Amino acid sequence: MRNRVGIILVLALVAGGLAAYLAINFLEHPSGSSSNQAAATVQVAVAARDLAVGSMIQAQDVKLVSWPAGAVPQGYATSLEEVVGRGVISQVRMNEPLLASKMARKGTGAGLAITIPEGMRAMSVRVNEVIGVAGFVFPGNHVDVLVTLDRSDTGSDAKTEVLLQNVEVATAGTELQQDADGKAKQVPVVTLLVTPDQAEKLTLAATQGQLQLALRNTLDEDTVKTDGARLATLLPSSTRARYRPIRTSRPSRPPSRVNVEVYRGKDRSTSTVDTTVTGGGR
Rounded-to-integer distance, Cα 124 and Cα 282, Å? 61
Final residue before a domain boundary, out of 93, 113, 133: 113
Rounded-to-integer distance, Cα 29 and Cα 40, Å? 17
Rounded-to-integer distance, Cα 29 and Cα 16, Å? 20
Note down the domain range covering 84: 40-113
Query: Is 161 contained in some domain?
Result: yes
Residues 159 and 79 in one domain: no
Residues 159 and 65 in one domain: no
Rounded-to-integer distance, Cα 202 and Cα 122, Å? 11
Query: Is 259 contained in some domain?
Result: no
Report the CATH number at residue 64. 3.90.1210.10
Residues 157 and 205 in one domain: yes
Residues 233 and 122 in one domain: yes
Kindly calculate the radius of gyration of the chain based on its CA atoms and give it in whole angstroms.
43
Query: Is 250 contained in some domain?
Result: no
Residues 71 and 102 in one domain: yes
Residues 106 and 125 in one domain: no
Residues 49 and 134 in one domain: no
φ, ψ dihedrals at 215, nearest 5°: -70, 135
Residues 179 and 72 in one domain: no
Residues 66 and 98 in one domain: yes
Query: Is 199 contained in some domain?
Result: yes
Rounded-to-integer distance, Cα 30 and Cα 27, Å? 6
Residue 194 pLDDT: 93
Query: Is 104 contained in some domain?
Result: yes
Rounded-to-integer distance, Cα 150 and Cα 208, Å? 9
Residue 282 pLDDT: 44
Q: Is 74 exposed, middle or buried (0-12, 13-18, 19+ CB in 10 A)?
A: exposed
Residues 154 and 219 in one domain: yes
Q: Is 144 exposed, middle or buried (0-12, 13-18, 19+ CB in 10 A)?
A: middle
φ, ψ dihedrals at 207, nearest 5°: -90, -25
φ, ψ dihedrals at 223, nearest 5°: -100, 125
Final residue before a domain boundary, out of 113, 140, 172: 113
Give the start-end residues of each E strand in 93-157.
121-126, 142-150
For residue 204, count other CB atoms closer than 10 A to its CB: 13
Residue 61 pLDDT: 93
Query: Is 262 contained in some domain?
Result: no
Residues 128 and 215 in one domain: yes
Pick from 38, 77, 212, 215: nearest CA to 139 = 215
Query: Is 282 contained in some domain?
Result: no
Residues 153 and 235 in one domain: yes
Give the start-end residues of each E strand in 88-157.
121-126, 142-150
Rounded-to-integer distance, Cα 156 and Cα 230, Å? 9
Q: From first to last of its 282 residues, what are the pLDDT tens digits of the chain? A: 556 666 676 666 667 776 776 667 666 655 554 445 556 889 999 999 999 888 899 999 999 999 998 888 888 999 999 999 998 888 899 999 999 888 888 877 777 788 888 889 998 887 765 555 556 778 888 999 999 988 776 666 788 999 999 999 888 776 545 555 655 555 578 889 999 999 999 999 988 888 888 888 888 888 889 888 887 777 666 555 555 555 555 556 666 676 767 667 667 777 776 766 555 444
Final residue before a domain boundary, out of 113, 140, 157: 113
Query: Is 7 contained in some domain?
Result: no
Count of domains for the chain: 2
User: What's the pTM?
Assistant: 0.54
